[in-house]
Chain A
Amino acid sequence: MPLAATAAVALMVLPLAGLLVRVPWSTLATELATSEAQEALRLSVVCSLGALAVAVVLGVPLAWVLARVAFPGRSLLRALVTLPMVLPPVVGGVGLLAIFGRRGLLGARLGSLPGFPLPFTIQGVVLAQAFVAMPFLVVATEAGLRQLDRRYEDAAATLGARPWHRFRTVTLPLIGPSLVAGAALSWARALGEFGATITFAGSLPGRTRTLPTAIYAGLQSRPEAAVALSVVLLAVSLTVLVVLRGRWLGAGGP
């Protein structure tokens, strides 16, 4: 067992360590200060937060329906909404184009509305990121709702709280830890999103080229810049996960 565990750690940690070895520490600050790097960073932060907002606004009601409303096909729907977690993101991008692309099923009809067509726009990036990130939020929130003792909501009702009021004042605070965990995972996923974004929204510096795309582009021309950006992505993701584990995922053990 310990041997296999060591192998597992090696498999997962060594590539990250390898990345650190390649980091141009002396020029790291300069690499990150270039306008390309700054643009990619800014864009990634803006888009991933946007995607998180979409995921929360749409994902929480979806989680609620999945947890609380019994209807035929619920298991199927549950499987479908988690599919983006296992689907190659590029395939997701192709699917998004088929629906929201300029000639997509919906995209072709919505094309004249403000903000459309979506490909090659920042809102397209947000949509692509939300597509891959939302399942994390939905799964965590639904689990939280299922574990919640519904009698607390009953208690709120007998105290005169209407449905929306009790959802806001009782349900949400009580599923808070699950919601925060789901939101953090889904944000981290959005931040690291590459395949669906580049397929659906393209890659224009300052407009749709997020960190992961900039890293990939950088690998072709300036590997040092790519490594520097990778380190930023790694540091941010690691921080989120460490904080999460400590505070909300309640990982057992000392």
Chain B
Amino acid sequence: MRRTVAALLAATLATACSAGASTPSGPRITVLAAASLTEAFEDLGRGAAVTFSFAGSQQLVAQVGAGAPVDVVATADPDAMDRLARAGLVNTPRTFAANRLTIAVRSGNPERIQGLADLARDGLKVVLADPAVPAGRYARQVLERAGVRVRPVSLELDVKAVARKVAAGEADAGIVYTTDVAAGSAVAIPDASNVVATFPVAVVRASTDRAAAEAFVDRLLGQPGRAALSARGFLLP
């Protein structure tokens, strides 16, 4: 119980603040990234002159569109990135990671959920991400492919909130990225129904430090990035 509250608080505060890796000297660049990338990017950014700001992909797009002074943007949503590219706000996007969806269940799986079909069960509290965010859109696709009709109790506004509600025990199950939950609290979705979410990254045209921004993207696509991402369970292109 107490642990749950602590976890909820910590999670809440982590999303509320932007996490920054710290080196005191040299130019800093700012990277906007999808919420689901939080842990992997923080690992990668440790010791580098990078400030991160994590949010839902749509919000990232809105921020870049509004001219936020940032250098790099990484989303969980290729469509959103395409819109930025078409508007000429970013350079050519490159895919750096992929993710699959999984069913998040309460610790120990007390409801004995075996697969997607169980999510339609009466009385089961299922939370999904809102279709306005990529995780919600993918979840809807997955459920459609499997032919399962789910009546969620809530459509959360970012995927982390889905994972949080299940981890806290308020909901019985949710559909999240595999990277959002520990193996013990996840029930796999078979490849036939699953989707692959790809994560594109791009340098923002308005960046004031193009070189450092390019360097970050290279690092992300290179060995350090691959290591950090796979350590957090991401698939690599």
Contact = CB atoms under 8 A, between A and B. Distances in A.
A244 B171 CA distance: 41
B197 interface: no
A75 B155 CA distance: 41
A101 B168 contact: yes
Contact of A202 (B56, B59, B156, B169): B156
Given A120-B153, A220-B132, A199 B58 contact: no
A129 interface: no
A213 B132 CA distance: 13
Nearest to A223: B62
Contacts of A105: 1
Interface stretch (A24-32, A64-72, A91-99, A231-239): A91-99
A204 B154 contact: yes
A219 B59 contact: yes
A203 interface: yes
Interface in A50-104: 88, 90-91, 94, 97-98, 101-104
A203 B125 contact: no
A199 B156 CA distance: 9
Contacts of A223: 62
B56 A220 contact: yes
Contacts of A208: 154
A177 interface: no
A203 B132 contact: no
Interface string B142-170: 00000000001111110001000100111
Interface string B1-43: 1001100110010001000000000000000000000000000
Given A203-B155, A203-B157, A204-B152, A90 B127 contact: no
A9 B154 CA distance: 39
B214 interface: no
Nearest to A102: B170
Contacts of B9: 91, 94
Contacts of A112: none
A208 B170 CA distance: 15
Contacts of A207: 153
Contacts of B56: 220
Nearest to B127: A202
Nearest to A218: B132
A102 B205 CA distance: 48
B130 A119 contact: no
Interface residues of A, number: 32
Interface residues of B, number: 29
A183 B161 CA distance: 32
Contacts of B168: 97, 101, 103
Nearest to B2: A98
Interface string A182-217: 000000000000000011011111011100010011
Nearest to A120: B153
B133 interface: yes
A217 B16 contact: no
A91 B6 CA distance: 11
Given A203-B156, A217-B132, A90 B5 contact: no
A221 interface: yes
Given A102-B169, A217-B130, A97 B8 contact: yes
Interface string A219-254: 111010000000000000000000000000000000
Nearest to B125: A120
A162 B169 CA distance: 50
Contacts of A213: 157
A207 B152 CA distance: 11
A88 to B, nearest CB: 8
30 contacts: A88-B16, A91-B12, A94-B5, A94-B12, A97-B168, A98-B5, A101-B168, A102-B170, A104-B1, A105-B1, A120-B127, A120-B153, A198-B156, A201-B154, A202-B127, A202-B154, A202-B156, A202-B165, A203-B156, A204-B152, A205-B155, A209-B155, A213-B157, A216-B157, A217-B130, A219-B59, A220-B59, A220-B62, A220-B133, A223-B62
Given A97-B170, A104-B1, 10 more contacts: A98-B1, A102-B169, A120-B153, A202-B127, A203-B130, A203-B156, A204-B154, A213-B157, A217-B157, A220-B130
Interface of B: 1, 4-5, 8-9, 12, 16, 56, 58-59, 62, 125, 127, 130-133, 152-157, 161, 165, 168-171
